[in-house]
Amino acid sequence: MTIQQDILAEIKQYETIIIHRHQRPDPDAFGSQLGLKAILSASFPDKKIYAVGKNVPGLAWIGEMDVIEDKVYRDALVIVTDTANSPRVDDLRYDTGRELIKIDHHPNDEPYGDWFWVEAGQSATSTMIYQFYEQLADELTLTKEAARLLYIGIAGDTGRFNYGLNTETMRVVGELLKMDVDYPTIHQRMDTISQNAAKLAGYVLQNVTVLDSGFAYFILTNEMIEAAELGEAGTAFVVPLPAKIDRVKAWAIFEQQDEGNYRVRLRSRSIVINTIAKQFEGGGHPLASGAWAQNERDVTRLIETVDAALQAAEAAKEN
Edge-to-edge strands, sheet with 262-268 = 209-210, 215-220, 250-256, 262-268, 288-293, 283-284
pLDDT in tens, 203-260: 999 999 999 999 999 999 988 888 887 755 478 889 999 999 999 999 999 999 989 8
pLDDT in tens, 291-311: 999 999 999 999 999 999 999
Mean pLDDT in order along the chain per 10 residues (319 residues): 96 98 94 98 98 91 96 98 93 97 92 95 96 98 98 93 88 97 95 88 96 97 84 76 95 93 94 94 86 96 97 88
Q: Where are the beta strands (DSSP E) in 155-306?
A: 209-210, 215-220, 250-256, 262-268, 283-284, 288-293
Residue 238: which region, alpha, beta or left (left: phi > 0; alpha: psi -120 to 50)? alpha
